[in-house]
Chain A
Amino acid sequence: MANINVHVETGQDNIAPSMQPLAPPKSVDSQSVLRRLQSELMALMMSGDSGISAFPEEDNILCWKGTITGSKDTVFEGTEYKLSLIFPNEYPFKAPKVKFDTTCFHPNVDMHGNICLDILQDKWSSAYDVRTILLSIQSLLGEPNISSPLNQQAAQLWNNQEEYRKMVEKLYKFPAA
């Protein structure tokens, strides 16, 4: 056993010096982001979740386009929203930036599509992924946080679901394919 240990250590000595020029820390970093995002994409496509989807843009795997459909039995039923997800190089240790590309009349979404969602800010955890983000946003649509609204008008109208539904339909533009 001692013999084996010695050899393992010499193996390390041989490998370590020549490893460094091959793998500078920065490329390892972006490689791990790449690896993680590829794995997420695979899992997302395999999972077959209804109502959510996402795919990287052609040239940049750090920029994804996602879609969410409004859940059944909510005022958003039958609508479909496009989002953009931009992943930092530190992903998954830092949260991605997620925005609505489609106008969304929602108490926690502002005019520019910015989303107020705790898990995308201070409650982010590296265990979240694209799938859980999209599912969270999907459930946020039907269960807004009225107490800290970005869209005051939507927050006030939320209690009147019939009026709210009309407003959603009026403002909703079916996203161009």
Chain B
Amino acid sequence: MVSDSVAAVPIPSAANTKNPGKKKRTNRSAKLKQYKIDARREQWLNKGAVKNKGCKDGMDDDVHVPPSSGKHAKQELEKLETRRRGEEDDVLIHQESDSESPSNSPVSANSSVLCGNDSGTNFTGSSSSGGSTSSSSSSGGCCSGNITEEEEDEDEEVEEEDDGCLDDWEAVADALAADEKHQNSSHNEPAVETDSSQSREVTGGSGLGHPNSKPGSGGMVPRGSANARAWRADDAFRPQTLPNLSKQHSMPNPDRFFGGGGPWCRTSVPSNCPICCEDLDLTDTSFLPCNCGFRLCLFCHKRILEQDARCPGCRKQYECEPIETEASVHGGSLTLRLARSVSMIERNQYTFVSINVKAGQ
């Protein structure tokens, strides 16, 4: 269960970042998820007659997911899955293991990290409302969403919070990783403990050592989702030792095209492939196929090898053995590394071919 959730976390959360470059993938995975919902719904409808009440809960949850795919639907789905998971823990329903679903616990993981006490409140609230839903719905067969007003409000709230949290999850993960080390030192400073709402957010948000700071006040959590990150970049109390957030590295680089000379003249690693404009993942950024330093993604490199096999940067023939440089991990945290490597799965199979070649060396 634990390892399952660990492996399941990165896929949807990686797709959830607001990076427009990942929109395509997001849509794809949303579609994918829709497939799974449909499949599961059919499964349940078949077994529904003989299933117990707990199973009906699950079906109700699934049924009122709007059929339109997209980010909204996906988020809601994730939330629902999360909720059902919470119920499972309580009710211990007998049903197939959820391990095939990649969207099991992203929100719970994120919100438990980011909103701390908040997620617990959601669970209790939603499980009670789920109970009311199941009691109000007479039969499991109806497909119209029997959502109560309360529940909808709650949904919106959760979504807003999710938006804010997921927006910066990478950044926060980095910050938290560093924060854990420096917690003791920064914790004792009175400046951090001041009563300004900002610093309270920080302590509440990090959720380290303050599990009961605001019990049962899920609705009161400030909605200023822009402030939901652990430290604001311009925060005066931000410890100097925190690393610079690497989030901007994953955003499209606007000055790629007008950086004086060619884009390949820059010594730093570009954030996206100059050929196809897709984001460079960790494997791509550690991939240096030519001495001239021109970087590109493995996909474009393979395509060029199939054609004239000349480096776009210097027009020289590619050597057979690409030069491998030491992988430069921006974030340094395992979560980030996992997210990047898992996101490659969704890209294409060519990437995998190249990786296998690399691993064989």
| A interface with B by C-beta (< 8 Å) | 3-4, 7-8, 10-12, 14-16, 18-19, 22-23, 28, 31-32, 35-36, 39-40, 42-44, 46-47, 49, 92-93, 123, 125-127, 129, 131
Contact = CB atoms under 8 A, between A and B. Distances in A.
A18 B35 contact: yes
Contacts of A47: 257-258
A93 B349 contact: no
A7 B342 CA distance: 10
Contacts of A49: 258
Contacts of A11: 7-8, 11, 102, 342, 345
Contacts of B102: 11, 14-15
Interface of B: 3-4, 6-8, 11, 24, 28, 31-32, 35, 99-100, 102, 252, 254, 256-258, 262-264, 274-278, 294, 300, 303-304, 307, 310, 312-313, 315, 338, 341-342, 345-346, 348-349, 352
B338 A4 contact: yes
B346 A131 contact: no
Given A22-B31, A39-B252, A127-B294, A92 B275 contact: yes
A35 B262 contact: no
A127 B270 CA distance: 13
A43 B258 contact: yes
Contacts of A42: 254
Contacts of B300: 126
B3 A40 contact: no
B275 A22 contact: no
Contact of B6 (A4, A18, A43): A4
Task: State the majority secondary structure of interface residues on B.
Answer: helix
Contacts of B338: 4, 8
Contacts of A7: 3-4, 6-8
Nearest to B263: A127
A53 B277 CA distance: 21
Contacts of B312: 125-127
A118 to B, nearest CB: 11
A56 B313 CA distance: 26
A32 B274 CA distance: 12
B93 to A, nearest CB: 22
16 contacts: A7-B7, A8-B341, A15-B32, A16-B345, A19-B28, A19-B346, A31-B24, A32-B277, A36-B275, A42-B254, A93-B304, A125-B312, A125-B313, A125-B315, A126-B312, A127-B263
Contacts of B275: 36, 92-93, 126-127
Given A43-B258, A93-B304, A12 B345 contact: yes
A92 B278 CA distance: 13
Most buried by A among B256, B300, B345: B345
A39 B277 CA distance: 7
Given A125-B313, A129-B257, 14 more contacts: A4-B3, A7-B7, A11-B8, A14-B100, A15-B32, A18-B32, A22-B31, A35-B276, A43-B254, A93-B307, A126-B275, A126-B304, A127-B264, A127-B312
B315 A123 contact: yes
A40 B11 CA distance: 29
A19 to B, nearest CB: 7
Contacts of A22: 28, 31-32
B294 to A, nearest CB: 7
Contacts of A12: 345, 352
Contacts of B24: 31
Contacts of B274: 127
B278 A8 contact: no
Contacts of A15: 32, 102, 345-346
A35 B32 contact: no
Contacts of A32: 276-278
A39 B20 CA distance: 12
Nearest to A123: B315
A32 B299 CA distance: 11
Contacts of A39: 252, 277
Contact of A28 (B32, B35, B254, B348): B348
Contacts of A129: 257
Contacts of B341: 8
Contacts of A123: 315
A42 to B, nearest CB: 8
